[in-house]
Chain A
Amino acid sequence: EAGVAQSPRYKIIEKRQSVAFWCNPISGHATLYWYQQILGQGPKLLIQFQNNGVVDDSQLPKDRFSAERLKGVDSTLKIQPAKLEDSAVYLCASRYSNSGANVLTFGAGSRLTVL
């Protein structure tokens, strides 16, 4: 089966600019996650979707970050305006359902550099 697709792989922007990342999960996976991974740290959950509804966005900086999954398939994560500390890899992951037993499958990530 095809994996989790993410684009772009790399993005360099200046602070205060905006950026958007796109994710296409594995077909049939109802649950989708966006994680932020700062260099040298583990992935930190930003937002979790179940189909097209938000399950958990408690750690999403909502003043600058937004995410949507309108049709319950693809998802977009947007940052506006970007800050230097947003430099990180943004990982999208999906799994079949919200059950804790299910394995997360990750995409290759989108590396953001904010100058």
Chain B
Amino acid sequence: AQKVTQAQTEISVVEKEDVTLDCVYETRDTTYYLFWYKQPPSGELVFLIRRNSFDEQNEISGRYSWNFQKSTSSFNFTITASQVVDSAVYFCALSAPYSSASKIIFGSGTRLSIRP
């Protein structure tokens, strides 16, 4: 069975602090993809990043960085120097392409609040 766990329900930090959102996943597939989506107050889920199971290189995009570790089945997301506009709900998701139906399973999300 596939599962995505985001243990942090809510995080609140002061602007300019760094913050890390945790994601732990379970799958029996050897080939899979991991995603992060952002859901701002407007409600639309916005794609942030995709990582395949064979690429464990960390990725940095501006203030965002992702740490993928297969050994711990984790795909954590760090925002450096957070800004108020980063306030949103963030979802980690898992997709296994060789399942009978290649669906994306979402975690329960982490609500991030950045205080000015």
Contacts and interface: CB of A to CB of B under 8 A. Distances in A.
B13 to A, nearest CB: 20
Given A41-B108, A41-B109, A42-B107, A103 B102 contact: no
A41 B107 CA distance: 8
B1 interface: no
Interface string A75-111: 0000000000000010101000011110111111101
A72 interface: no
A42 B106 contact: yes
A63 to B, nearest CB: 22
Interface of A: 33, 35, 40-45, 48, 55-56, 89, 91, 93, 98-101, 103-109, 111
A43 to B, nearest CB: 5
B70 interface: no
B64 interface: no
Q: For the complex, would chain B's binding face be called helix, strand, loop or mixed by DSSP majority?
A: loop
Given A42-B109, A101-B50, A104-B47, A56 B97 contact: no
B45 A106 contact: yes
Interface in B24-63: 31-33, 35, 37, 42-47, 50, 52
B57 to A, nearest CB: 17
B45 A56 contact: no
Contacts of A35: 106
Nearest to A107: B44
B21 to A, nearest CB: 13
